[in-house]
């Protein structure tokens, strides 16, 4: 064995032994380190919050926040979110440790490091005195404008991070009622959503829901997500929902399907949002009922205040002739005050018979007294009907 | 740069003051001076440095004894780095907060001039003499580090504080309102190091 080979082998053995020793030491000491790290974290935050028995790491973003933990008590309930944040300026750096309650109240705050070349004591004191709500305005110290900017930066980062904990509300679908059809009611539902990476596109469909809340059919209005196979997969999913009650749909509907997850989720969201929309949808003010000998019959319905804050529904079937004149009406529901109040309102309605509903204005109310809310509702119903008939043309 | 007999930190047997030895002391203290921001951080760093110097002396004696002289420099450098990483692991385990702030300076001990000066000086000495030289140099290193730390903490913060890195909780406010905070900044370590270099040079010229 020549000298060069011997030397090379010695170097290799030396490296293997030393690296092995270091790796062995690392794993040998790891449990002790884990234990000591937990103790240090609790010790560090003991200055800002009491009663924290353990901490849970929480994900956070940004360069300013360096640590974020959920502080839990003995029972495992959250006491506060614990932050350490550092920001630099031309005078050095500032590190703040703060405990923020779930409602945003600052439980404790500590200016851990104020490495500034001026007004260190004053800045430290002002930070320690900032103990209201995390969204309050930090006043700062006169003569330490740069430090104020840095502290504002830290507080803004904490505010944003604290807000991040709330689950952001999903954007709702845009929904509009299109028309009544033989099978039920047709709605246009649209939603813009991510379909791949950060790319967003709109899905828009006309869907028909029957009176039991079941999806009868749909037709595509716009398909802005990936096409071809991806679209086929999404459409197959949509097809599988036909005949189902949209009020009973859940995220479980996505199970058993693969591919085009974003598009399928968007379609499901459209139907879930539609179910919500229909649940809260007010009964139509105007609904066409049938053609009769004198003209067309419409059902008019409206809920409105009749006294104080009390609300009630007025509903009538009215017949309008081909010239737009009110021919007759019949009461379907009268949910406002009865007796003489009702008599006054009905007298007002009677006075409108024979009039062209297209020419009705607020002036019709003049010359009548009493039951103002009920009379106004009746007039509004007829004016709405006029608009509806205009729309039909 | 010649490193043999240039060690001014051995307070019991300091070398001659010249441009080489002044450069040596500056380079020996340069990474460490940053850690000497407070007395507490300096004491923890000194404990780790003591372990480092003892282990490197033993390792280097082993290298010098059992390995061919031709490749000693490579093995010495590898040993300095390995021992520095080992000490940084200890620091990570037993001084968690200190390590999060200063552990890179512990690793940087491997490129400080002091271990290389000790290696050169200990080359022709036995293990006992080598260890003695190392401990004597460590005492000089510790004195300078503590002087830097006391100056930076007292003048730079106007306070003496313990409790950030250890379980000893102690704080005394001397004149925090009038602190020259620049000395507590990293820049302060350069300034203090400059004072020390000037003092050593001045002492050499007047001797």
Do the Cβ atoms of B181 and A117 come within 8 Å? yes
Tens digit of each residue's pLDDT (9 = 90 or more) over A8-18: 888 899 899 99
Read off the pLDDT band of B141 (50, 70, 90): very high
* Mean pLDDT, residues B138-146 taken together: 94
DSSP state of A51: S
Closest-CA residue of chain A to B167: A43
Model confidence band, residue B52 (pLDDT cutoffs 50, 70, 90)? very high
Answer yes or no: do B181 and A120 touch at CB < 8 A.
yes
Long-range CB contacts (within 8 A, 24+) of A184-191: A184/A208, A184/A209, A184/A210, A184/A211, A184/A216, A185/A209, A187/A274, A187/A277, A187/A278, A188/A221, A189/A270, A189/A271, A189/A273, A189/A274, A190/A221, A190/A222, A190/A270, A191/A266, A191/A269, A191/A270, A191/A273
Residue A284 pLDDT level (bands cut at 50, 70, 90): low
A3, A33, A117 member nearest B92 (Cβ):
A33
> Does B42 or A74 have the greater pLDDT score?
B42
Is B86's CB within 8 Å of A121's CB?
Answer: no
How far is the alpha carbon of A75 from chain B, nearest alpha carbon, in Å?
27
Q: Cα dist. A162→A48, A151, A157, A326, B141 in Å?
A: 17, 16, 8, 61, 47
Q: Is B158 left (phi over 0), alpha (psi -120 to 50) or beta?
A: left
Cβ neighbours of A37 in B, within 8 Å: 96
Judge whether residue A283 has pLDDT over 80. Answer: no
Q: What is the pLDDT of residues A200-218, one digit of tens each?
A: 788 899 999 988 889 999 9
Q: Which of A126-130, A222-226, B74-78, B88-92 has the highest mean predicted lDDT (pLDDT)?
A: B88-92
Confidence of residue A287 (pLDDT cuts 50, 70, 90): confident
Q: Phi and psi (nearest 5°) for B180?
A: -95, 85
Share of chain B above pLDDT 90, in %: 45
Does the structure's ipTM exceed the value 0.85?
no
What is the structure's pLDDT at A166? Answer: 45
* Per-residue pLDDT at B51: 96
Ranges A166-180, A197-211, B41-55, B138-152: which has the least confidence: A166-180
Nearest-CB residue to B82 (from A22, A115, A116): A22
| Confidence bin at A168 (pLDDT 50/70/90) | very low
Across the interface, do A40 and B96 touch by the CB < 8 Å criterion?
yes
Mean pLDDT lowest for which of A26-35, A103-112, A196-205? A196-205
Contact A217, A234 (CB under 8 A): no
Q: What is the pLDDT of residue A371?
A: 82
- pLDDT confidence of B49, banded at 50, 70, 90? very high
- Residue A230 sits at the vertex; the CA angle it makes with A228 and A234, to the nearest 5 degrees, is 115
- Of A170-179, B104-113, B135-144, the least confident: A170-179
Over residues A300-304, mean pLDDT? 82
User: What integer pLDDT is reported at residue A171 of this predicted model?
Assistant: 66
User: Which among B74, B93, B94, B189 is the top mutation candidate for probing chain A, defined by the most A β-carbons within 10 Å of its own β-carbon?
Assistant: B93
Contact yes or no for A40 and B90 at CB 8 A = no
Which of A14, A118, A120 shows the shortest C-beta gap to B78? A14
Least Cα separation, residue A105 to chain B (angstroms) = 26
Q: Which chain B residues contact residue A26 at CB under 8 A?
A: 89
| Selected residue with higher pLDDT from A249 and B38 | B38
Q: CB of B117 within 8 A of CB of B29? A: no
pLDDT for A103: 76
* pLDDT score at A61: 76
Flag whether pLDDT at B195 surpasses 50: yes
| Residue B68 C-alpha from the chain's centroid | 29
Return the higher-pLDDT residue of A249 and A163: A249
A223 has pLDDT over 80: yes
**A266 vs A173: CA distance, rounded Å:** 9
B134 vs B13: CA distance, rounded Å: 12
Looking at chain A, which residue has its C-alpha nearest residue B80? Answer: A18
Chains A–B, number of C-beta pairs less than 8 Å apart: 57
Residue A20: pLDDT band (50, 70, 90) is very high
Query: Residue range A371-387: average pLDDT?
Result: 86
Task: Read off the pLDDT band of A167 (50, 70, 90).
Answer: very low
Residue-wise DSSP of A162-209: HHHTSPPPPPPPEEEEEEEETTEEEEEEEEEEEEETTEEEEEEEEEEE
pLDDT band at B207 (very low <50, low <70, confident <90, very high): low
Q: In chain A, how many H helices and how many E strands?
A: 7, 13
**Statement: residue B95 has pLDDT above 50:** yes
A75-98 pLDDT, tens digit per residue, is 888 888 999 999 988 888 899 999
Nearest CA to CA, how far is B18 from chain A (Å)?
36
CA distance A121 to chain B (A): 6
Q: Work out the minimum CA distance from B178 to partner chain A, whole angstroms.
A: 9
Strand ranges across the sheet with A106-115: A54-57, A65-72, A78-89, A92-100, A106-115
Tell me which of B196 and A75 has the higher pLDDT.
Answer: B196
Nearest to A22 among B67, B86, B184 (CB): B86
Question: Average pLDDT of A236-249?
Answer: 88
**Distance (Å) of CA B194 to CA A106, A123, B33, B114, B187:** 44, 30, 11, 18, 11
Q: Is the pLDDT of residue B43 over 90?
A: yes
A38-74 pLDDT, tens digit each: 888 888 888 888 888 888 888 887 788 988 998 888 8
Which residues in chain B (110-169) have CB-CB distances under 8 A to chain A?
157
pLDDT score, position A282: 63
Q: Which of A10, A22, A92 is the closest to B85 by Cβ?
A: A22
Residue A83 near residue A134 (C-beta atoms within 8 A): no
């Amino acid at each position: 064995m020549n000298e060069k080979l011997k030397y090379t082998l010695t170097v290799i053995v030396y490296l293997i032994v030393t690296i092995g020793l270091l790796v062995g030491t690392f794993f040998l000491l790891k449990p002790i380190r884990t234990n000591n790290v937990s103790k240090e974290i609790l010790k560090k935050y003991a200055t800002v919050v009491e009663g924290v028995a353990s901490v849970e790491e929480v994900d956070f973003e940004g360069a300013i926040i360096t640590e974020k933990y959920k502080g839990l008590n003995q029972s495992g309930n959250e006491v506060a979110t614990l932050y350490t944040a550092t920001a630099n300026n031309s005078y050095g750096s500032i590190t703040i440790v703060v405990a923020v309650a779930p409602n945003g109240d600052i439980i404790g705050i500590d200016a851990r490091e104020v490495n500034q070349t001026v007004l260190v004591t004053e800045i430290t004191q002002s930070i320690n005195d900032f103990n209201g709500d995390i969204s309050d305005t930090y006043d700062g110290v006169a003569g330490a404008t740069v430090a104020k900017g840095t502290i504002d930066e830290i507080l803004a980062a904490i505010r944003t991070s604290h807000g991040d904990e709330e689950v952001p509300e999903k954007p709702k679908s845009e929904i509009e009622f299109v028309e009544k059809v033989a099978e039920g009611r047709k709605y246009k539902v649209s939603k813009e959503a991510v379909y791949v990476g950060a790319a967003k596109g709109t899905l828009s469909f006309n869907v028909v829901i029957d009176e039991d809340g079941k999806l009868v059919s749909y037709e595509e209005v716009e398909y802005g997500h990936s096409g071809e196979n991806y679209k086929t997969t999404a459409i197959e999913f949509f097809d599988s929902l036909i005949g189902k009650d949209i009020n009973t749909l859940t995220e479980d509907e996505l199970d058993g399907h693969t591919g085009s997850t974003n598009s399928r989720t968007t379609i499901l969201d459209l139907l879930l949002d539609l179910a919500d929309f229909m649940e809260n949808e007010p009964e139509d003010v105007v609904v066409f009922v049938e053609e009769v000998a004198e003209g067309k019959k419409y059902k008019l319905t409206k809920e409105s205040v009749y006294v104080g804050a009390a609300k009630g529904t007025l509903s009538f079937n009215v017949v309008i002739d081909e010239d737009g004149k009110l021919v007759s009406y019949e009461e379907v529901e009268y949910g406002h005050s009865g007796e003489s109040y009702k008599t006054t309102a009905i007298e007002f309605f009677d006075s409108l018979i024979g009039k062209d509903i297209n020419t009705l204005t607020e002036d019709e109310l003049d010359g009548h007294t009493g039951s103002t809310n009920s009379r106004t509702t009746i007039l509004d119903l007829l004016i709405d009907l006029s608009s509806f008939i205009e729309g039909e043309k | 740069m010649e490193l043999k007999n240039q060690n001014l930190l051995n307070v019991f047997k300091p070398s001659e003051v010249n441009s080489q030895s002044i450069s040596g002391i500056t380079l020996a203290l340069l990474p460490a001076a940053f850690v000497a921001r407070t007395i507490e951080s300096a004491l923890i760093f000194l404990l780790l440095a003591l372990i480092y110097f003892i282990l490197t002396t033993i390792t280097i004696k082993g290298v010098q004894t059992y390995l061919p002289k031709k490749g000693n420099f490579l093995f010495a450098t590898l040993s300095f780095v390995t021992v520095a990483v080992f000490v940084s692991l200890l620091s990570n385990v037993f001084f968690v907060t200190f390590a999060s702030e200063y552990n890179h300076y512990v690793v940087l001990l491997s490129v400080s001039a002091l271990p290389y000066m000790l290696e050169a000086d200990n080359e022709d000495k036995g293990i006992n003499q080598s260890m003695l030289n190392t401990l004597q140099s460590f005492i000089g290193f510790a004195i300078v580090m503590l002087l830097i730390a006391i100056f930076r903490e007292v003048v730079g913060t106007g306070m003496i504080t313990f409790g950030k890195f250890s379980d000893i909780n102690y704080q005394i406010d001397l004149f925090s309102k009038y602190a020259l905070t620049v000395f507590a900044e990293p820049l302060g370590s350069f300034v203090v190091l400059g004072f020390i270099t000037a003092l050593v040079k001045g002492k050499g010229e007047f001797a």
